[in-house]
Amino acid sequence: MFDAINSIVLLIKNKKIVDANTYAVSFYGYGDLTGLDVVGTLVPETESSGRNLELIIEDIEKDPEKYHLHVNENITAKGDVFWIVWSNSQYVDPNGEKMMLSVGIEATDLINRQKKLESVFHNSLDGIAFLDSELKLIDCNSPFMKMIGFDSREEMVRVREDNASAYGKYIRDLPIEY
């Protein structure tokens, strides 16, 4: 059944692959994934962002629901790096053994586009703000803060919390959420 899915499907126990579907074997470029360590084979010990994936994999196995949806870097047999969005849950086999069931989809293009947008957002000389459907401020960049008279996010939040009138009704009533 899992071999008909164009997603990576893995059963993992003690950071080792117990089973994998055909798509996963093909995607990662190994002849067989069964028995291989997840860390060092499918994921680097430390991600390019600096996150320790070995500790995260241990934590996911202890509490898969805590990481129900999770994104991290993965590596293939050839050394290619991909971003995978994972859905993790606990699986109990017919013998009562608990394992982690992980289903992943490759999302490298999406993650790279997100990084480019974040770079534009943070490096723009123009003020940019994101508002939700109720016009509550979700996030803003430094030029936007300066446009409305603040030097830092902390100052903006503090003024909002203090309900200070020094910055006028607009800033005082701005529904800042963090």
Asked if pLDDT for residue 105 goes beyond 80, the answer is: yes
pLDDT at residue number 137? 77
pTM equals 0.73
- pLDDT tens for 53-103 read 999 999 999 898 899 999 999 999 999 999 999 999 999 999 999 999 999
Q: What six digits make up the tokens of 31?
A: 């002849």
Domains and CATH numbers, the chain: 2-107 (3.30.450.20), 124-172 (no CATH)
Q: Looking at residues 110-138, what average pLDDT do you find?
A: 88
Q: For strand 98-106 and strand 8-13, is the pairing parallel, antiparallel, or unpaired?
A: antiparallel
Give yes or no for residue 178 having a pLDDT over 70. no
Q: What is the structure's pLDDT at 136?
A: 76
- Whether the predicted pLDDT of 165 surpasses 70: no
| Three-class HEC string of 1-24 | CHHHCCCEEEEEECCEEEEECHHH
Q: For residue 159, what pLDDT is reported?
A: 64
Rounded to 5 degrees, what are φ and ψ at 60?
-60, -40
* pLDDT value for 169: 43
First to last CA, the chain: 43
